[in-house]
Amino acid sequence: MRLARLAVGEVELDVEFFDSPCAGEIYDLLPIETPFSTWGDEFYFHVHYKGDLDDTAPTRVRVGDIGYWPPGGALAVFFGPTPASTSGDPVPASEVNLVGRIKGDATLLRKAADARGIKIERI
């Protein structure tokens, strides 16, 4: 099992990375500490990985999902609706490879929207 801790401002949450090639490559990059951007209730940030969509890429995601977005070379952390949403569920800008899932209440990340950076490290 690949476990990590995600920290944004005062919010810390555990993350499980899935058993897929894309997830493994990104997990191997940890720790990552970087500024992030927001898109509704989504944090996204560049990672030093270049991959294509794989068979984990859905058109729908859930609150707590973490996806790799190939067009932007970015990791996306979903914790609520995005500008593309028509309900309370997040909708990515386009398909993402599902690489992990937050264990716990991902909506707590709303409290950290004003933070300056995000950190993900192995535990």
For 47, the enclosing helix (H) or strand (E) is none
43: which strand partners?
38, 77
Cis geometry, peptide bond prior to residue 31 (ω within 30 degrees of 0): yes
Any idea which of 53-57, 64-68, 103-107, 109-113 has the lowest mean pLDDT? Answer: 53-57
Confidence of residue 1 (pLDDT cuts 50, 70, 90): confident
Asked if 30 contacts 4 with a C-beta cutoff of 8 angstroms, the reply is yes
For 76, the enclosing helix (H) or strand (E) is strand 74-78
Write down the pLDDT at residue 3. 98
- Cβ-proximal residues to 55 (8 Å cutoff; 6+ apart), any chain: none
67: which strand partners?
76, 98
pLDDT tens digits, 79-94: 999 999 999 999 999 9
Rounded Cα gap, residues 6 and 16, in angstroms: 10
Read off the pTM. 0.96
Write down the pLDDT at residue 59. 72
Q: Where are the alpha helices (DSSP H) in the chain?
A: 21-29
